[in-house]
């Protein structure tokens, strides 16, 4: 049969169309062939990531599965369309949402209202455990965007008796599987097919932080360490004088103290500004703030510092704070010390031994983890296990030492408890001997003494600051030290400066001696010895008086040695020394006087001896009393 030209051309056209459809590139129309792509990224605290899904066709079904890999990340995902700018999401997620949560709402109550209006489709906990997954069938062809972030979880901060609830965005490493027409993605185990169906095109890095302070003669500069910044981030800094004659200057340095950027070093302006784009990732950058020297003096006054990443509005001085801090802020470490026993106070060595329980707890997001990983509400580590954990993850923790410790500290039990939100508790039952160089025996034995327990942070104050939990620091009811009793007890935190400044937690214990021992074992026998020395003077036989007064003096010398064995060899006189010396002089004088009277008797001057003896006998107690009163005034007033 002969084919007409018209039929031939029609057949040719149909053939071309079929060939074109067969050879058409993927994505030209809705395709049934599965496409899967996987991303593995790290979501920083307060950060959100954005992915572009270009050229989706009507009828395509997009599948997304986001799985936590590390830390305490609680993933959320959402899809939008034709949205090149995510500033409204960033504004809500980092500024408005925390304000709503602070007012008492929970994340699961507050976020859905926003998400329903912002996303075409979104999900929080649709996958396994806390994983997020979603499925969306494309209604209109075009470019779609995928937003991933960490949900806010409750953070139990700081208070050991009544914990205040605060909500904090979660973070960590994640695995993101995106598929087109690939329902197996929802299992979280789909295998990438090699096609590029999405592009990771951005992170939320717009952060602004405000800091105020004073530059003084005593603190004439500030050096702020910065948190980790990404390569390509642009750092904006605005340093403004708010009072005084301050002429602010700025320097940005790297880990090797290399100067990267600076402004107003000559002090010509009232403000200093700088802008610097990071050429490499790092967390070892630091910012130096100074006042410009004018003549011999440094300009001083109050200041306001605005620092931001990828936020040029900072240079106007009007940027609002947002996002996680750029400057490293010191972590508060709550410290409580419960002293159960004071087992020994060695006055000669000037030290004391205590048995107690040390409790420290702090919140650091780097310790956070997801409870699904261990099916537990807390992780408990021994010291060896905790050291391995710290070294493996390259972490820091508020290491410490007893600053006035002598010898080694014996730890009967140590335990580290790590909670999912990053709270860490350290408990240690210990026995330690501590120096007591502050002992002052001037009023011995009526001398109140101060004992100090000094716990010093090994890490500087720009990393950790101690904060006392006064309600939980206490003294035991039975200290085990019978000579002393506690009259006062309080805690404080101070700073100890070496090359850098370190936080120090101090417990001051004020104790006094029980008086009964000294009254009945020292003062009463001493009074009797003195009374005997006086009583001897009433005897008329001078020979007998000499013999008895010498024996009494020897008794006193032995008594003095017995008392002195408990005290250190001091370079100053104590009240007890004054009393003993007075008694010693009195006893020695009675011997000398009786020898003189015996001499008068043997030389025939008995009447003279008897006359002087009357004055000595009745003058002795009055002179002794006057000397004791003088000692009381000298040592106690």
Percent over 70 (pLDDT), the chain:
89
Q: Lowest mean pLDDT: which of 73-77, 190-194, 304-308, 473-477?
A: 473-477
Using the predicted structure, report yes or no on whether residue 481 has a pLDDT greater than 70: no
Domain over 331-513 is classified CATH 3.40.190.290: no
Using the predicted structure, report yes or no on whether residue 24 has a pLDDT greater than 70: no
Residue range 324-336: mean pLDDT, rounded: 88
Most trustworthy range by pLDDT among 133-142, 293-302, 582-591, 612-621: 133-142
Q: What mean pLDDT is reported for the chain?
A: 84
Q: Which CATH class is domain 35-203?
A: mainly beta
Closest by CA position to 59, among listed 30, 91, 38: 30
Burial of 531 (0-12, 13-18, 19+ CB in 10 A): exposed
pLDDT tens sequence across 510-557? 888 888 888 888 888 888 888 888 888 888 877 888 888 888 888 777
pLDDT tens sequence across 353-362? 999 999 999 9
Report the pLDDT value the prediction gives residue 588, as an integer from 0 to 100: 85
**Angle at the Cα of 337 from the Cα atoms of 335 and 341, rounded to 5 degrees:** 170
pTM tops 0.75: no
Using the predicted structure, report yes or no on whether residue 462 has a pLDDT greater than 50: yes
Report the pLDDT value the prediction gives residue 382, as an integer from 0 to 100: 95
CA dihedral over 620, 621, 624, 630, signed as positive or negative? negative
Report the pLDDT value the prediction gives residue 12, as an integer from 0 to 100: 55
CATH 2.60.120.380 location in the chain: 35-203, 207-316
Using the predicted structure, report yes or no on whether residue 21 has a pLDDT greater than 50: no
240 cis-preceded (ω within 30 degrees of 0):
no
Residue range 74-84: mean pLDDT, rounded: 91
Report the pLDDT value the prediction gives residue 154, as an integer from 0 to 100: 67
CATH 2.70.170.10 location in the chain: 331-513
Using the predicted structure, report yes or no on whether residue 167 has a pLDDT greater than 70: no
Q: Which CATH class is domain 516-636?
A: mainly alpha
Q: DSSP for 202-244?
A: EE---EEEEEEEEE-SSS-EEEEEBPPB-TT-EEEEEEEE-ST
CA distance to 44, 75, 353, 371, 584, per residue, from 71 (Å): 10, 11, 42, 10, 75
pLDDT tens sequence across 268-323? 888 999 999 988 876 678 898 988 765 566 788 999 999 998 889 999 998 888 77
Q: Lowest mean pLDDT: which of 418-427, 456-465, 598-607?
A: 598-607
Binning pLDDT at 50, 70 and 90, where does residue 15 land? Answer: low
Report the pLDDT value the prediction gives residue 191, as an integer from 0 to 100: 92
Report the pLDDT value the prediction gives residue 103, as an integer from 0 to 100: 83
Burial of 103 (0-12, 13-18, 19+ CB in 10 A): exposed
Residue range 445-451: mean pLDDT, rounded: 87
Q: Which fold is adopted by the domain 207-316? A: Jelly Rolls (2.60.120)
């Amino acid at each position: 049969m002969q084919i007409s030209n018209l039929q031939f051309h029609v057949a040719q056209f149909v053939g071309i169309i079929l060939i074109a459809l067969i050879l058409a590139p993927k994505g030209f129309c809705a395709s049934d062939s599965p496409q899967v792509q996987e991303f593995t990224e790290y979501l920083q605290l307060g950060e959100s990531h954005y992915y572009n899904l270009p050229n989706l066709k009507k009828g395509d079904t997009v599948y997304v599965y986001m799985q936590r890999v590390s830390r305490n990340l609680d993933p959320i995902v959402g899809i939008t369309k034709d949205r090149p700018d995510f500033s409204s999401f960033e504004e809500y997620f980092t500024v408005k949402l925390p304000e709503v949560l602070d007012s008492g709402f929970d994340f699961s109550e507050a976020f859905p209202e926003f998400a329903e209006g912002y996303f075409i489709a979104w999900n929080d906990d649709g996958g396994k455990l806390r994983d997020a997954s979603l499925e969306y069938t494309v209604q209109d062809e075009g470019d779609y965007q995928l937003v991933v972030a960490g949900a806010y979880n409750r953070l139990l901060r700081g208070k050991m008796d009544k914990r205040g609830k605060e909500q904090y965005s979660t973070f960590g490493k994640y695995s993101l599987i995106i598929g087109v027409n690939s329902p197996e993605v929802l299992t979280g185990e789909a295998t990438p097919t090699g096609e590029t169906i999405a592009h990771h095109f951005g992170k939320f890095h717009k952060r602004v932080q405000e800091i105020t302070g004073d530059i003084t003669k005593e603190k004439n500069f500030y050096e702020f360490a910065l948190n980790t910044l990404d390569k390509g981030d642009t750092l904006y800094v605005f340093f403004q004088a708010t009072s005084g004659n301050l002429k602010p200057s700025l320097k940005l340095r790297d880990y090797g103290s290399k100067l990267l950027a600076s402004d107003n070093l000559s002090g010509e302006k009232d403000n200093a500004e700088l802008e610097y784009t990071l050429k490499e990732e790092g967390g070892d950058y630091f910012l130096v703030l100074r006042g410009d020297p004018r003549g011999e003096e440094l300009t001083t006054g109050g200041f306001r510092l605005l620092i931001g990443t990828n936020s040029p509005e900072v240079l106007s001085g009007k940027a609002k704070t947002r996002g996680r801090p750029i400057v490293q802020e010191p972590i508060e470490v709550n410290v409580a010390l419960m002293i159960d026993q004071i087992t020994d106070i060695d006055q000669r060595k000037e030290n004391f031994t205590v048995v107690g329980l040390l409790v420290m707890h702090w919140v650091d997001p780097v310790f956070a983890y997801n409870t699904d990983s261990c099916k537990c509400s807390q992780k408990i580590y021994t010291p060896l296990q905790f050291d391995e954990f710290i070294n493996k993850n390259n972490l820091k923790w508020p290491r410490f030492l007893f600053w006035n410790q002598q010898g080694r500290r014996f730890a009967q039990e140590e335990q580290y408890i790590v909670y999912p939100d990053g709270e860490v508790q350290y408990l240690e039952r210990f026995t330690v001997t501590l120096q007591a160089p502050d002992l002052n025996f001037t009023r011995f034995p009526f001398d109140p003494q101060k004992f100090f327990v000094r716990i010093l942070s090994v890490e500087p104050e720009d990393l950790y600051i101690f904060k006392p939990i006064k309600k939980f620091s206490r003294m035991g009811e039975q200290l085990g030290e019978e000579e002393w009793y506690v009259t006062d007890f309080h805690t404080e935190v101070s700073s100890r400066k070496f090359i850098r400044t370190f936080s120090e937690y101090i417990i001051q214990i004020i104790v006094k001696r029980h008086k009964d021992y000294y009254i009945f074992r020292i003062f009463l026998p001493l009074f009797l010895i003195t009374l005997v020395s006086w009583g001897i003077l009433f005897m008329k036989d001078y020979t007998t008086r000499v013999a008895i007064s010498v024996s009494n003096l020897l008794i006193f010398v032995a008594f003095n040695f017995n008392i002195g064995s408990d005290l250190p060899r001091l370079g100053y006189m104590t009240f007890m020394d004054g009393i003993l010396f007075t008694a010693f002089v009195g006893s020695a004088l009675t011997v000398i006087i009786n020898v003189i009277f015996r001499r008068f008797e043997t030389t025939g001057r008995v009447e003279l001896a008897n006359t002087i003896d009357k004055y000595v006998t009745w003058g002795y107690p009055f002179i002794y009393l006057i000397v004791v009163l003088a000692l009381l005034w000298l040592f106690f007033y």
